[in-house]
Chain A
């Protein structure tokens, strides 16, 4: 289904930076780390007092290995610093504000200098070029514009490489489909759940997304999803799907991105230092071990962050990639430490359940996990319209298959509810997968 275009092998936006030798890269990293530490120590009172508490001054950090002596920054720190507390430059040097809202409390205010905007677009440009998007491409940007960085940063990067950008945003799905048809859209940027929704809508309208459109590739981000979901989207649309990773606190999307080999995302290490830690103890883990990604920005001016805890669970893939880029890859995001829930004492990520469901014939793409108590999980899955044969035994078998396969994955056996297709709310943005009705 998916095809790798031989033309994009060897396509680089900033070749020198992307294939830089590791020793040079590390020297550069240390240089920028020192600059960053000097900047936050002298300009951000929060960091000054944090460093003092740890008994450190920037000069104590002499190697990249010293990084782990520094304290972490958390999203709670950013909320506490709202609105201007984390700013490392004067307000006059800030050209943009984004906020990232949590479910509770104050938002996080994230500032960009002109150079920060420039850098974030360059990183996205690298990502686009290495997957074949450039001049002549038409990119439909179906992420949320506004306070969320996802759409805007992609927008800037795509314009930078010379693509024609349609700033569609999410929603108004029939219009989205018309745009794709009328303008011959070749690439789109979208959340996985919205991609699945759009595909089923196209089929309802009698459009074969694999045959009737000019789509070549999609960039998927903003919510974690599984390899099964990627393949499904590639299959339905007949395109290549690339994973992207980013967060507003670190310039938005384009922090890490898949190359044409689609095997892990290159994290741009000339802009970010990465560590993987045990989320419970804070201990730094070896390359290859699964844990929480911690990022230190190396070139951010307006709002550098030191050892920022992303809450995203992944692992570093230390091997060299065939594409020649020397920046190490991270695996797809396995979950958010925030999304993780506990049932019967077991740590569970919604993605584990999603992965199982995607592998079962007879289940449609939408699902929900409902938590009513600490002992039980209910998985609500829509049955597939096409596979319904009117036989109740087959549905009971399906119910059992789902429960057993999920149990094999997460140890806990869920209750399974089979729903009519379309019964669950469709999302035109981020899907809400876990409904937690538990009270302490």
Chain B
């Protein structure tokens, strides 16, 4: 394992946890903030094409879930102008709360990353679409944008370089589906957040009928490091065993002693994250299951979990996906049928209803799992569950249907015995309840 440059190397959370005022311009500047932007705009460190090239060289892949190479996506942007950059801060995937830390504690890095990205894309106007519930994160970002205007990093003539850059914060109003990039575009235009059929891709026809790039908060904030240190340096920040580059935020929740957001290099072993950073399992309970990349990715059992290195390649090799980096840790005593039931309730609730396999399928499999959990399921139900989930994949406008099918199929595959126990015993072996480590429920 080579972590020589990497141990403790932070590019996004480069300040002590809980420090006051990290969100201000002054604080950001003391951490080297806006120096990359100054070097690019004042000293001409890169041309727009040169910066785009650095992003390609960096190997940066989208941090919003799909992991699409950012440089490649940018190179698809149609030549027509105006074009728009949209930052996806809708963050609503269960288990994912990493973008919120950037918005709350380091919003200027997002602003600088967006300005650099606008430069590389030769666009002027960026929108940040923040989920409506994030009122406090919105306040921080709002204040940061205002500071950036006052300091001349945004405006009609940025740093006297004769280029105009603007950023507008736009609030959502409660809908997971607005995180899907074309749903987000529709929502930004004032419509229902229903995803669009592709092609045309947003890079050709996006928001306001103009070419548009949609990127995640963490992706855009990472552009600062690439502009500062160069694409090749960025590509070195990783575990030697894997190919994924850069550092990544992992938001850890569930049964661990110290949940929270951690920045580690790509390829960091899950075992080490759990045992060293997170202080091990909550109350020492044994690990049962891991959802490594947000609620949409396949669940794995404890044995597999301990072998995972946190990068795209290792996750794929172990039958799951890195996704958004939402690490959900579940200890012994968690009913996996119940956990699937809660997840499917969510996907059914959030389906936008345009596609039959998704609108009907999510509700259908939710009802089956609810029945099994209540002890009223049959063995036929289990086969039906798998078959319906299998039939939902790859048939819809967006991947929400897949995002519901993957947890369904993997829960059933990995924890088949537990589903069968529910059927045979005619009840939930866990009494239909989740663990209650903080004793909020009725005391026995």
Chain A complexes with chain B: no
B interface with A by C-beta (< 8 Å)? none
